[in-house]
Chains A and B, each alone.
Chain A
C-alpha cells in the first residue's frame, strides 16, 4: 500500500514557502557577500571608521577583519542547502547586532561617523536602521518558515495516518 499526499493546495503552499526561504537566503547572500568583500577591499578605511566609534574603537583592528570574514562565512552557510538554517540563524543574529549598534549610535552619540561598505555608504544612519530592521524581519520570517516546514515534513513522514490514501 502506498500513501500518497494528494493535498495539492498544501504542497503548493509548501513549495511557495520553500521558494520564499531560498529567495530570502539569496538576498542575504547578496547583502553579506557584497558588504564583506567591500569591507575587505577597503580594510584600512573600515578600520579607521570603526576607530571613530565610541563602542568599537578599542577592538577596531580585530573587528575590521573579523566582521567581513563572518559575513562571508554566513554567505557560504546560506548558499549550501544543508547549512542554510544555520546561515539564517547567523543572519538573524548579525542583523540584530547591527540594528542594536545603529540604535545605540543614533540615541547616544552626538556625532556620527560614516559606516558601511559599498553602496550602503549612501544611506544615512536612520535609513540604515530601517534597512536593517527590514532585513532582520526577513531573517526571522525565513527561519520561522524553515522550522515550520521541517515540522510539516516530519509529521507526514512519521504519521501512520495518511493525508489521503491510495492503493496500488
Chain B
C-alpha cells in the first residue's frame, strides 16, 4: 500500500484540480446569441461591408467559432459577432466595441 501512496495522492489531486478548473471555467457563464458577419480584410484593418450576410444566425457563442467561413490565414478573426443586428457596421474589425468570438 505504501508504494501506491504517492500515486494515489497525485491521482486525487489531478481529479480534484481538473474538476475545480472545469467548474471555475463554466461558472455563471450566460449563453448569449450572436449573429456573425464576415470581415473583409482586403481593406486594411478589415471592415464588415454594408449589407453583409449573416453567416451564422442564432448560434450561441459556444457553437460558433472564429474560423467558420474563413478560408484565408488561420490567425485572423474573420468573423465578428453581434447580439442582435447592429444599426451600423463598424469600419474596423478591431473596434473596441466589437465583441471578439
Seen from chain A, the residues whose Cβ lies within 8 Å of a Cβ on chain B are 22-23, 25-27, 29-31, 33-34, 37-38, 41-42, 48, 51-52, 54, 57, 75, 78-79, 81, 110-111, 113, 118-119
Contact = CB atoms under 8 A, between A and B. Distances in A.
Interface residues of B, number: 19
A81 B10 contact: no
A104 to B, nearest CB: 16
Across the A-B interface, the 4 shortest Cβ-Cβ residue pairs: A33-B14, A111-B75, A29-B10, A37-B18
Contact of A30 (B10, B22, B67): B10
B17 A29 contact: no
Interface of B: 3-4, 6-7, 9-11, 13-15, 17-18, 21-22, 25, 65, 67, 74-75
B10 A33 contact: yes
B47 to A, nearest CB: 21
Given A26-B6, A29-B11, 8 more contacts: A25-B6, A29-B10, A30-B13, A33-B15, A34-B18, A42-B25, A52-B74, A110-B75
Given A29-B11, A79-B7, A118 B65 contact: no
Nearest to A79: B7
A30 B14 contact: yes
Q: Is the interface of B mostly helix, strand, loop or mixed?
A: helix
Contacts of A27: 10
Contacts of A42: 22, 25
Nearest to B21: A118
B22 A38 contact: yes
Contacts of B74: 51-52, 54, 57
A113 B6 CA distance: 35
B22 A41 contact: yes
A48 B67 contact: yes
Contacts of A26: 6-7, 9-10
Contacts of B10: 26-27, 29-30, 33
Contact of A52 (B14, B15, B75): B75
A34 B13 CA distance: 8
A81 B7 CA distance: 10
A119 B17 contact: yes
B7 A38 contact: no
Nearest to B14: A33
Nearest to A109: B75
Contacts of B67: 48, 51-52
Contact of B14 (A29, A48, A81, A110): A29
